[in-house]
Chains A and B, each alone.
Chain A
Protein backbone atom coordinates (compact mmCIF):
# COMPACT_ATOMS: atom_id res chain seq x y z
CA UNK A 1 0.00 0.00 0.00
CA UNK A 2 1.47 3.30 -1.07
CA UNK A 3 1.64 6.36 1.10
CA UNK A 4 -1.22 7.89 -0.77
CA UNK A 5 -3.28 4.81 -0.18
CA UNK A 6 -2.41 4.75 3.52
CA UNK A 7 -3.32 8.38 3.84
CA UNK A 8 -6.54 7.77 2.01
CA UNK A 9 -7.41 4.85 4.24
CA UNK A 10 -6.78 6.89 7.37
CA UNK A 11 -8.79 9.76 6.02
CA UNK A 12 -11.66 7.44 5.45
CA UNK A 13 -11.92 6.98 9.21
CA UNK A 14 -12.38 10.66 9.80
CA UNK A 15 -15.27 11.71 7.66
CA UNK A 16 -17.44 14.64 8.43
CA UNK A 17 -20.78 14.17 10.09
CA UNK A 18 -22.83 14.69 6.98
CA UNK A 19 -20.77 12.12 5.08
CA UNK A 20 -21.08 9.68 7.93
CA UNK A 21 -24.80 10.21 7.87
CA UNK A 22 -24.83 9.56 4.17
CA UNK A 23 -22.73 6.43 4.54
CA UNK A 24 -24.96 5.15 7.33
CA UNK A 25 -27.98 5.59 5.11
CA UNK A 26 -26.48 4.19 1.92
CA UNK A 27 -24.26 1.49 3.34
CA UNK A 28 -25.81 -0.01 6.45
CA UNK A 29 -23.35 -1.98 8.50
CA UNK A 30 -25.59 -3.61 11.04
CA UNK A 31 -26.87 -7.00 10.13
CA UNK A 32 -29.65 -8.68 12.07
CA UNK A 33 -27.24 -10.61 14.21
CA UNK A 34 -25.38 -7.51 15.22
CA UNK A 35 -28.60 -5.64 15.93
CA UNK A 36 -29.82 -8.39 18.18
CA UNK A 37 -26.51 -8.49 19.99
CA UNK A 38 -26.57 -4.75 20.55
CA UNK A 39 -30.18 -4.83 21.64
CA UNK A 40 -29.39 -7.47 24.25
CA UNK A 41 -26.55 -5.39 25.53
CA UNK A 42 -28.88 -2.44 25.76
CA UNK A 43 -31.52 -4.34 27.62
CA UNK A 44 -28.98 -5.91 29.90
CA UNK A 45 -27.50 -2.54 30.71
CA UNK A 46 -30.87 -0.88 30.94
CA UNK A 47 -32.28 -3.62 33.14
CA UNK A 48 -35.36 -3.83 31.09
CA UNK A 49 -37.32 -6.63 29.60
CA UNK A 50 -37.34 -7.80 26.10
CA UNK A 51 -40.89 -7.73 25.00
CA UNK A 52 -39.97 -9.07 21.67
CA UNK A 53 -38.84 -12.34 23.07
CA UNK A 54 -41.26 -12.14 25.93
CA UNK A 55 -38.60 -13.49 28.21
CA UNK A 56 -36.68 -11.82 30.90
CA UNK A 57 -33.01 -11.74 30.18
CA UNK A 58 -31.09 -13.94 32.53
CA UNK A 59 -27.48 -14.77 32.89
CA UNK A 60 -26.29 -18.29 32.57
CA UNK A 61 -23.66 -20.22 34.40
CA UNK A 62 -24.66 -19.00 37.81
CA UNK A 63 -27.00 -20.30 40.42
CA UNK A 64 -28.99 -18.36 42.94
CA UNK A 65 -27.36 -18.44 46.33
CA UNK A 66 -29.26 -20.36 48.94
CA UNK A 67 -28.19 -20.15 52.51
CA UNK A 68 -27.50 -23.52 54.08
CA UNK A 69 -30.26 -24.66 56.41
CA UNK A 70 -27.91 -25.35 59.24
CA UNK A 71 -27.19 -21.64 59.39
CA UNK A 72 -30.64 -21.17 60.77
CA UNK A 73 -30.21 -23.72 63.54
CA UNK A 74 -26.73 -22.49 64.30
CA UNK A 75 -28.17 -19.02 64.74
CA UNK A 76 -30.75 -20.37 67.17
CA UNK A 77 -28.08 -22.09 69.19
CA UNK A 78 -25.90 -18.98 69.23
CA UNK A 79 -28.77 -16.84 70.40
CA UNK A 80 -29.62 -19.35 73.10
CA UNK A 81 -26.02 -19.44 74.29
CA UNK A 82 -25.85 -15.68 74.43
CA UNK A 83 -29.11 -15.54 76.35
CA UNK A 84 -27.98 -18.17 78.85
CA UNK A 85 -24.66 -16.46 79.38
CA UNK A 86 -26.38 -13.14 79.87
CA UNK A 87 -28.90 -14.47 82.35
CA UNK A 88 -26.19 -16.38 84.16
CA UNK A 89 -24.01 -13.33 84.39
CA UNK A 90 -26.83 -11.28 85.81
CA UNK A 91 -27.65 -14.00 88.30
CA UNK A 92 -24.05 -14.33 89.40
CA UNK A 93 -23.72 -10.60 89.74
CA UNK A 94 -26.86 -10.44 91.78
CA UNK A 95 -25.71 -13.28 93.96
CA UNK A 96 -22.31 -11.79 94.54
CA UNK A 97 -23.69 -8.41 95.31
CA UNK A 98 -25.81 -9.87 98.03
CA UNK A 99 -22.69 -10.96 99.85
CA UNK A 100 -21.15 -7.55 99.72
CA UNK A 101 -21.70 -5.18 102.51
CA UNK A 102 -24.75 -3.15 102.20
CA UNK A 103 -25.85 -0.09 103.86
CA UNK A 104 -28.54 -0.20 106.37
CA UNK A 105 -30.68 2.16 104.49
CA UNK A 106 -32.84 2.75 107.48
CA UNK A 107 -29.93 4.42 109.14
CA UNK A 108 -29.24 7.22 106.84
CA UNK A 109 -25.96 8.88 107.66
CA UNK A 110 -26.82 11.79 109.82
CA UNK A 111 -24.61 14.00 111.83
CA UNK A 112 -26.40 15.80 114.50
CA UNK A 113 -24.87 18.25 116.80
CA UNK A 114 -26.36 18.60 120.13
CA UNK A 115 -25.11 21.34 122.27
CA UNK A 116 -24.91 21.29 125.92
CA UNK A 117 -23.26 23.37 128.49
CA UNK A 118 -19.53 23.06 128.51
CA UNK A 119 -19.68 19.96 126.47
CA UNK A 120 -18.17 18.64 123.35
CA UNK A 121 -20.33 17.19 120.66
CA UNK A 122 -19.48 13.66 119.96
CA UNK A 123 -20.73 11.81 116.96
CA UNK A 124 -21.42 8.19 117.23
CA UNK A 125 -20.38 6.18 114.31
CA UNK A 126 -22.15 3.00 113.52
CA UNK A 127 -20.44 0.93 110.99
CA UNK A 128 -21.83 -2.07 109.29
CA UNK A 129 -19.25 -4.36 107.94
CA UNK A 130 -19.86 -7.70 106.37
CA UNK A 131 -23.18 -7.82 108.00
CA UNK A 132 -21.77 -6.99 111.40
CA UNK A 133 -22.21 -3.79 113.18
CA UNK A 134 -19.79 -2.14 115.46
CA UNK A 135 -19.76 1.21 116.99
CA UNK A 136 -17.12 3.71 117.51
CA UNK A 137 -17.19 7.13 118.92
CA UNK A 138 -15.94 10.12 117.21
CA UNK A 139 -15.65 13.63 118.21
CA UNK A 140 -16.61 15.14 114.94
CA UNK A 141 -14.66 12.46 113.21
CA UNK A 142 -15.03 11.65 109.61
CA UNK A 143 -13.29 8.69 108.23
CA UNK A 144 -12.57 8.16 104.65
CA UNK A 145 -11.58 4.74 103.73
CA UNK A 146 -10.47 3.57 100.38
CA UNK A 147 -10.70 -0.06 99.77
CA UNK A 148 -9.98 -2.10 96.78
CA UNK A 149 -12.52 -4.81 96.94
CA UNK A 150 -14.99 -4.31 99.63
CA UNK A 151 -17.04 -1.44 100.63
CA UNK A 152 -17.23 -0.25 104.12
CA UNK A 153 -20.37 1.50 104.87
CA UNK A 154 -20.51 4.00 107.48
CA UNK A 155 -23.55 5.31 109.02
CA UNK A 156 -23.53 7.94 111.53
CA UNK A 157 -26.75 7.73 113.30
CA UNK A 158 -26.64 10.32 115.83
CA UNK A 159 -24.56 12.69 117.70
CA UNK A 160 -24.47 12.84 121.40
CA UNK A 161 -23.24 15.47 123.65
CA UNK A 162 -20.70 14.56 126.12
CA UNK A 163 -19.91 16.39 129.13
CA UNK A 164 -16.54 16.16 130.64
CA UNK A 165 -16.04 17.80 133.87
CA UNK A 166 -12.36 17.51 133.58
CA UNK A 167 -12.30 19.27 130.34
CA UNK A 168 -14.47 21.99 131.63
CA UNK A 169 -12.31 22.58 134.58
CA UNK A 170 -9.13 22.68 132.59
CA UNK A 171 -10.65 24.85 130.01
CA UNK A 172 -11.68 27.27 132.63
CA UNK A 173 -8.26 27.37 134.07
CA UNK A 174 -6.64 27.95 130.73
CA UNK A 175 -9.18 30.18 129.27
CA UNK A 176 -6.68 32.35 127.50
CA UNK A 177 -4.91 29.49 125.86
CA UNK A 178 -6.25 27.72 122.84
CA UNK A 179 -7.04 24.24 123.84
CA UNK A 180 -7.53 21.22 121.79
CA UNK A 181 -9.88 18.55 122.63
CA UNK A 182 -9.38 15.66 120.38
CA UNK A 183 -11.33 12.56 120.08
CA UNK A 184 -10.55 10.33 117.26
CA UNK A 185 -11.82 7.08 116.15
CA UNK A 186 -10.16 5.41 113.27
CA UNK A 187 -12.33 3.12 111.37
CA UNK A 188 -10.57 0.02 110.27
CA UNK A 189 -11.03 -1.31 106.80
CA UNK A 190 -10.53 -4.97 106.39
CA UNK A 191 -9.08 -5.20 102.96
CA UNK A 192 -7.55 -1.86 102.56
CA UNK A 193 -4.55 -1.09 100.54
CA UNK A 194 -4.73 2.52 101.40
CA UNK A 195 -6.27 4.15 104.36
CA UNK A 196 -6.90 7.76 104.79
CA UNK A 197 -7.86 8.91 108.14
CA UNK A 198 -9.70 12.12 108.34
CA UNK A 199 -10.25 13.47 111.71
CA UNK A 200 -12.35 16.27 112.82
CA UNK A 201 -11.22 18.00 115.79
CA UNK A 202 -13.90 19.69 117.60
CA UNK A 203 -13.15 23.02 119.00
CA UNK A 204 -14.98 23.78 122.08
CA UNK A 205 -15.39 27.09 123.54
CA UNK A 206 -15.49 25.92 127.08
CA UNK A 207 -15.92 29.30 128.51
CA UNK A 208 -19.12 29.82 126.71
CA UNK A 209 -21.76 27.97 128.55
CA UNK A 210 -24.62 28.16 126.17
CA UNK A 211 -23.27 27.43 122.76
CA UNK A 212 -20.88 24.95 121.52
CA UNK A 213 -19.40 25.50 118.20
CA UNK A 214 -18.10 22.54 116.47
CA UNK A 215 -15.59 23.28 113.89
CA UNK A 216 -15.71 20.34 111.70
CA UNK A 217 -12.52 20.76 109.97
CA UNK A 218 -10.72 17.89 108.67
CA UNK A 219 -7.33 16.71 109.30
CA UNK A 220 -6.10 14.05 107.03
CA UNK A 221 -3.58 11.78 108.46
CA UNK A 222 -2.34 9.10 106.27
CA UNK A 223 -0.73 6.31 108.07
CA UNK A 224 2.16 4.58 106.58
CA UNK A 225 3.08 1.02 106.81
CA UNK A 226 4.76 0.69 110.12
CA UNK A 227 7.46 -1.42 108.64
CA UNK A 228 8.47 1.32 106.29
CA UNK A 229 11.83 2.61 107.37
CA UNK A 230 11.82 5.69 105.23
CA UNK A 231 10.39 8.89 106.54
CA UNK A 232 7.55 9.88 104.40
CA UNK A 233 5.06 12.58 104.14
CA UNK A 234 2.35 10.29 102.97
CA UNK A 235 1.84 6.96 104.47
CA UNK A 236 0.28 4.12 102.66
CA UNK A 237 -0.38 0.87 104.33
CA UNK A 238 1.25 -1.58 102.06
CA UNK A 239 2.28 -4.25 104.45
CA UNK A 240 0.90 -7.62 103.70
CA UNK A 241 -0.29 -7.79 107.27
CA UNK A 242 -2.68 -5.02 106.50
CA UNK A 243 -3.72 -6.00 103.08
CA UNK A 244 -6.64 -8.03 104.14
CA UNK A 245 -6.77 -8.26 107.87
CA UNK A 246 -6.37 -4.74 109.08
CA UNK A 247 -9.41 -4.25 111.16
CA UNK A 248 -8.53 -1.89 113.87
CA UNK A 249 -6.41 0.91 115.09
CA UNK A 250 -5.36 2.07 118.45
CA UNK A 251 -3.64 5.20 119.43
CA UNK A 252 -2.11 5.80 122.81
CA UNK A 253 -1.04 9.30 123.38
CA UNK A 254 1.11 10.07 126.36
CA UNK A 255 1.38 13.62 127.38
CA UNK A 256 2.65 15.50 130.33
CA UNK A 257 -0.74 15.32 131.78
CA UNK A 258 -1.13 11.62 131.42
CA UNK A 259 -1.86 8.88 129.00
CA UNK A 260 -4.82 8.99 126.73
CA UNK A 261 -6.07 6.27 124.58
CA UNK A 262 -8.40 6.36 121.71
CA UNK A 263 -8.87 3.36 119.67
CA UNK A 264 -11.19 1.71 117.33
CA UNK A 265 -11.58 -1.91 116.55
CA UNK A 266 -13.69 -4.20 114.67
CA UNK A 267 -15.64 -6.08 117.24
CA UNK A 268 -14.59 -9.30 115.63
CA UNK A 269 -11.21 -8.91 117.21
CA UNK A 270 -12.80 -9.04 120.60
CA UNK A 271 -10.78 -6.13 121.81
CA UNK A 272 -12.50 -3.59 123.87
CA UNK A 273 -12.94 -0.17 122.65
CA UNK A 274 -11.04 2.33 124.64
CA UNK A 275 -9.67 1.67 128.06
CA UNK A 276 -12.83 2.46 129.85
CA UNK A 277 -14.92 0.25 127.72
CA UNK A 278 -17.12 2.35 125.56
CA UNK A 279 -16.42 5.96 125.93
CA UNK A 280 -14.06 7.84 123.80
CA UNK A 281 -11.23 9.26 125.73
CA UNK A 282 -10.39 12.74 125.11
CA UNK A 283 -7.15 14.36 125.86
CA UNK A 284 -5.90 17.80 125.90
CA UNK A 285 -2.63 19.28 125.04
CA UNK A 286 -1.05 22.55 124.43
CA UNK A 287 1.67 23.75 122.26
CA UNK A 288 4.93 22.59 123.63
CA UNK A 289 3.54 19.47 125.21
CA UNK A 290 5.45 16.36 124.51
CA UNK A 291 3.57 13.35 123.37
CA UNK A 292 4.43 9.77 123.35
CA UNK A 293 2.50 7.76 120.82
CA UNK A 294 1.89 4.11 120.74
CA UNK A 295 0.19 3.22 117.55
CA UNK A 296 -1.14 -0.25 117.42
CA UNK A 297 -2.57 -1.94 114.44
CA UNK A 298 -4.67 -4.93 115.12
CA UNK A 299 -5.16 -7.62 112.61
CA UNK A 300 -8.18 -9.71 112.08
CA UNK A 301 -6.66 -12.52 114.02
CA UNK A 302 -6.12 -10.30 116.98
CA UNK A 303 -2.45 -9.80 116.39
CA UNK A 304 -1.30 -6.41 117.41
CA UNK A 305 1.52 -4.61 115.79
CA UNK A 306 2.68 -1.76 117.85
CA UNK A 307 4.85 1.09 117.02
CA UNK A 308 5.98 3.58 119.56
CA UNK A 309 7.38 6.98 119.17
CA UNK A 310 7.16 10.56 120.18
CA UNK A 311 6.64 13.80 118.46
CA UNK A 312 9.97 14.97 117.30
CA UNK A 313 9.14 18.58 116.94
CA UNK A 314 6.72 20.90 118.50
CA UNK A 315 3.36 20.53 117.05
CA UNK A 316 2.55 23.44 114.89
CA UNK A 317 -0.34 24.41 112.77
CA UNK A 318 0.67 22.41 109.82
CA UNK A 319 2.09 19.13 110.88
CA UNK A 320 4.01 17.19 113.41
CA UNK A 321 6.59 14.51 113.09
CA UNK A 322 6.57 11.39 115.15
CA UNK A 323 9.87 9.78 115.68
CA UNK A 324 9.37 6.14 116.27
CA UNK A 325 11.54 4.10 118.49
CA UNK A 326 12.92 2.18 115.61
CA UNK A 327 14.53 5.36 114.40
CA UNK A 328 12.14 6.18 111.62
CA UNK A 329 10.07 9.25 111.55
CA UNK A 330 6.63 9.83 110.33
CA UNK A 331 4.94 13.05 109.53
CA UNK A 332 1.34 13.60 110.32
CA UNK A 333 -0.22 16.40 108.52
CA UNK A 334 -2.68 18.64 110.11
CA UNK A 335 -3.91 20.76 107.38
CA UNK A 336 -6.75 22.70 108.73
CA UNK A 337 -7.92 21.76 112.13
CA UNK A 338 -5.11 23.06 114.20
CA UNK A 339 -5.17 26.31 112.47
CA UNK A 340 -8.78 26.54 113.31
CA UNK A 341 -8.02 25.63 116.85
CA UNK A 342 -5.38 28.26 117.25
CA UNK A 343 -7.53 30.86 115.76
Chain B
Protein backbone atom coordinates (compact mmCIF):
# COMPACT_ATOMS: atom_id res chain seq x y z
CA UNK B 1 0.00 0.00 0.00
CA UNK B 2 1.40 3.37 -0.99
CA UNK B 3 1.56 6.36 1.31
CA UNK B 4 -1.16 8.07 -0.68
CA UNK B 5 -3.43 5.10 -0.16
CA UNK B 6 -2.65 5.22 3.53
CA UNK B 7 -3.48 8.89 3.56
CA UNK B 8 -6.82 8.29 1.94
CA UNK B 9 -7.60 5.40 4.23
CA UNK B 10 -6.86 7.42 7.33
CA UNK B 11 -9.19 10.07 6.06
CA UNK B 12 -12.01 7.85 4.85
CA UNK B 13 -11.90 4.82 7.08
CA UNK B 14 -9.72 5.43 10.06
CA UNK B 15 -10.78 2.37 12.04
CA UNK B 16 -9.86 0.04 9.24
CA UNK B 17 -6.64 1.92 8.75
CA UNK B 18 -5.71 1.37 12.37
CA UNK B 19 -5.85 -2.37 12.06
CA UNK B 20 -3.87 -2.41 8.86
CA UNK B 21 -1.45 0.09 10.25
CA UNK B 22 -0.57 -2.15 13.17
CA UNK B 23 -0.10 -5.06 10.81
CA UNK B 24 2.17 -3.05 8.57
CA UNK B 25 4.12 -0.87 10.97
CA UNK B 26 3.61 -2.52 14.34
CA UNK B 27 6.84 -4.47 14.15
CA UNK B 28 8.83 -1.44 13.14
CA UNK B 29 7.47 0.58 16.04
CA UNK B 30 8.03 -2.28 18.42
CA UNK B 31 11.60 -2.70 17.24
CA UNK B 32 12.34 1.01 17.58
CA UNK B 33 10.88 1.10 21.06
CA UNK B 34 12.64 -1.96 22.31
CA UNK B 35 15.88 -0.68 20.86
CA UNK B 36 15.54 2.38 23.06
CA UNK B 37 14.01 1.09 26.26
CA UNK B 38 14.63 -2.63 26.06
CA UNK B 39 17.53 -2.31 28.45
CA UNK B 40 15.55 -0.66 31.24
CA UNK B 41 11.87 -1.27 30.68
CA UNK B 42 9.69 -4.29 31.01
CA UNK B 43 7.68 -5.93 28.32
CA UNK B 44 4.64 -4.02 29.50
CA UNK B 45 6.54 -0.77 29.28
CA UNK B 46 7.42 -1.57 25.70
CA UNK B 47 3.87 -2.42 24.78
CA UNK B 48 2.55 0.68 26.50
CA UNK B 49 5.02 2.81 24.62
CA UNK B 50 4.05 1.20 21.33
CA UNK B 51 0.43 1.84 22.14
CA UNK B 52 1.15 5.49 22.98
CA UNK B 53 3.00 5.94 19.71
CA UNK B 54 0.10 4.55 17.74
CA UNK B 55 -2.40 6.68 19.58
CA UNK B 56 -0.33 9.74 18.90
CA UNK B 57 -0.15 8.81 15.27
CA UNK B 58 -3.86 8.07 15.08
CA UNK B 59 -4.68 11.42 16.58
CA UNK B 60 -2.56 13.14 14.01
CA UNK B 61 -3.15 10.76 11.14
CA UNK B 62 -5.18 13.31 9.22
CA UNK B 63 -2.23 15.63 9.25
CA UNK B 64 -0.11 13.11 7.42
CA UNK B 65 0.45 13.98 3.85
CA UNK B 66 2.22 11.71 1.43
CA UNK B 67 3.71 14.75 -0.23
CA UNK B 68 5.63 15.78 2.87
CA UNK B 69 7.52 12.52 3.33
CA UNK B 70 7.21 8.79 3.64
CA UNK B 71 4.91 7.29 6.20
CA UNK B 72 7.70 5.05 7.48
CA UNK B 73 9.92 8.03 8.24
CA UNK B 74 7.01 9.81 9.84
CA UNK B 75 6.26 6.85 12.06
CA UNK B 76 9.94 6.32 12.89
CA UNK B 77 10.34 9.88 14.07
CA UNK B 78 7.29 9.68 16.29
CA UNK B 79 8.39 6.30 17.63
CA UNK B 80 11.92 7.37 18.46
CA UNK B 81 10.78 10.56 20.14
CA UNK B 82 8.19 8.80 22.25
CA UNK B 83 10.60 5.99 23.06
CA UNK B 84 13.16 8.44 24.36
CA UNK B 85 10.45 10.07 26.47
CA UNK B 86 9.53 6.65 27.78
CA UNK B 87 13.16 5.92 28.54
CA UNK B 88 13.40 9.05 30.66
CA UNK B 89 10.13 8.29 32.33
CA UNK B 90 11.09 4.72 33.17
CA UNK B 91 14.50 5.61 34.50
CA UNK B 92 13.01 8.42 36.53
CA UNK B 93 10.27 6.19 37.85
CA UNK B 94 12.70 3.50 38.85
CA UNK B 95 15.07 5.99 40.39
CA UNK B 96 17.87 4.73 38.25
CA UNK B 97 20.94 6.90 38.12
CA UNK B 98 23.09 5.86 35.28
CA UNK B 99 26.78 6.25 35.31
CA UNK B 100 27.63 7.67 31.96
CA UNK B 101 30.94 5.79 31.99
CA UNK B 102 29.21 2.49 32.40
CA UNK B 103 29.40 0.76 29.09
CA UNK B 104 26.62 -1.58 30.01
CA UNK B 105 24.10 1.21 29.96
CA UNK B 106 22.37 1.98 26.73
CA UNK B 107 21.34 5.56 26.38
CA UNK B 108 19.50 7.30 23.61
CA UNK B 109 21.84 8.53 20.95
CA UNK B 110 23.31 11.91 21.40
CA UNK B 111 23.45 14.42 18.60
CA UNK B 112 26.43 16.23 20.04
CA UNK B 113 29.15 13.59 19.92
CA UNK B 114 29.55 13.27 16.21
CA UNK B 115 32.77 11.23 16.25
CA UNK B 116 31.42 8.88 18.84
CA UNK B 117 28.19 8.51 16.97
CA UNK B 118 30.04 7.72 13.79
CA UNK B 119 32.13 5.12 15.51
CA UNK B 120 29.06 3.62 17.05
CA UNK B 121 27.39 3.47 13.68
CA UNK B 122 30.31 1.59 12.26
CA UNK B 123 30.50 -0.85 15.12
CA UNK B 124 26.75 -1.30 15.08
CA UNK B 125 26.80 -2.17 11.44
CA UNK B 126 29.75 -4.56 11.86
CA UNK B 127 28.09 -6.27 14.77
CA UNK B 128 24.95 -6.74 12.82
CA UNK B 129 26.97 -8.22 9.98
CA UNK B 130 28.58 -10.64 12.42
CA UNK B 131 25.18 -11.70 13.70
CA UNK B 132 23.90 -12.19 10.23
CA UNK B 133 27.01 -14.18 9.37
CA UNK B 134 25.97 -16.77 11.92
CA UNK B 135 23.26 -17.88 9.60
CA UNK B 136 19.85 -19.22 10.52
CA UNK B 137 18.53 -20.11 12.96
CA UNK B 138 21.36 -18.71 15.11
CA UNK B 139 20.78 -15.19 13.84
CA UNK B 140 17.09 -15.39 14.71
CA UNK B 141 17.88 -16.82 18.10
CA UNK B 142 20.26 -13.98 18.87
CA UNK B 143 17.81 -11.35 17.63
CA UNK B 144 14.80 -12.66 19.51
CA UNK B 145 16.67 -13.51 22.65
CA UNK B 146 18.92 -10.48 22.99
CA UNK B 147 17.31 -7.79 20.89
CA UNK B 148 13.68 -8.47 21.65
CA UNK B 149 14.44 -9.84 25.13
CA UNK B 150 12.38 -12.93 24.54
CA UNK B 151 12.88 -15.88 26.80
CA UNK B 152 14.30 -19.12 25.57
CA UNK B 153 10.83 -20.63 25.60
CA UNK B 154 9.33 -17.76 23.64
CA UNK B 155 12.16 -17.89 21.16
CA UNK B 156 11.85 -21.64 20.81
CA UNK B 157 8.13 -21.37 20.30
CA UNK B 158 8.50 -18.71 17.67
CA UNK B 159 11.24 -20.60 15.81
CA UNK B 160 9.48 -23.90 16.27
CA UNK B 161 12.42 -25.37 18.12
CA UNK B 162 12.97 -26.94 21.47
CA UNK B 163 14.16 -24.83 24.33
CA UNK B 164 17.29 -26.91 24.72
CA UNK B 165 18.18 -26.50 21.10
CA UNK B 166 17.66 -22.76 21.35
CA UNK B 167 19.74 -22.62 24.50
CA UNK B 168 22.64 -24.60 23.00
CA UNK B 169 22.61 -22.66 19.77
CA UNK B 170 22.43 -19.42 21.68
CA UNK B 171 25.48 -20.30 23.73
CA UNK B 172 27.46 -21.33 20.71
CA UNK B 173 26.44 -18.23 18.82
CA UNK B 174 27.45 -15.95 21.67
CA UNK B 175 30.84 -17.61 21.96
CA UNK B 176 31.38 -17.32 18.28
CA UNK B 177 30.48 -13.67 18.25
CA UNK B 178 32.65 -13.08 21.31
CA UNK B 179 35.57 -14.71 19.60
CA UNK B 180 35.09 -12.57 16.55
CA UNK B 181 34.82 -9.42 18.60
CA UNK B 182 37.90 -10.37 20.61
CA UNK B 183 39.99 -11.09 17.55
CA UNK B 184 38.94 -7.88 15.94
CA UNK B 185 38.46 -9.55 12.62
CA UNK B 186 35.15 -7.91 12.14
CA UNK B 187 36.86 -4.67 11.11
CA UNK B 188 38.29 -6.35 8.04
Contact = CB atoms under 8 A, between A and B. Distances in A.
Nearest to A43: B18
B103 interface: yes
B26 A11 contact: no
A29 to B, nearest CB: 5
Contact of B19 (A2, A10, A52): A52
Interface in A1-43: 1-2, 4-17, 19-25, 27-31, 34-35, 37-39, 41-43
Name A's interface SS: helix
A46 B15 contact: no
Interface string B5-44: 0000000000110110011001110111011001100000
B174 A5 contact: yes
A153 B58 CA distance: 80
Contact of A46 (B35, B59, B127): B59
B28 A24 contact: yes
Interface string A28-67: 1111001101110111011011111000000000000000
Nearest to A17: B76
Interface residues of B, number: 55
A21 B28 contact: yes
A35 B121 contact: no
B63 to A, nearest CB: 15
A43 B143 CA distance: 30
A15 B54 contact: no
A13 B72 CA distance: 21
Given A5-B174, A7-B181, A8-B178, A29 B140 contact: no
B147 A23 contact: yes
B124 A19 contact: yes
Contacts of B16: 51
Contacts of A50: 15
B161 interface: no
Q: Which 8 A-B pairs have the closest CB atoms?
A: A24-B31, A4-B178, A41-B51, A51-B15, A24-B28, A28-B27, A5-B178, A24-B27
Interface of B: 15-16, 18-19, 22-23, 26-28, 30-32, 34-35, 38-39, 47-48, 50-52, 54-55, 58-59, 72, 76, 80, 103-104, 106, 120-121, 123-125, 127-128, 131, 140, 142-144, 146-148, 150, 158, 174-175, 177-179, 181-182
29 contacts: A2-B175, A4-B178, A4-B179, A5-B174, A5-B177, A7-B181, A8-B177, A9-B146, A9-B174, A12-B146, A13-B35, A15-B124, A15-B147, A17-B32, A20-B31, A24-B28, A24-B32, A27-B147, A29-B27, A29-B30, A30-B22, A31-B158, A35-B26, A37-B47, A38-B22, A46-B59, A48-B58, A49-B15, A52-B15
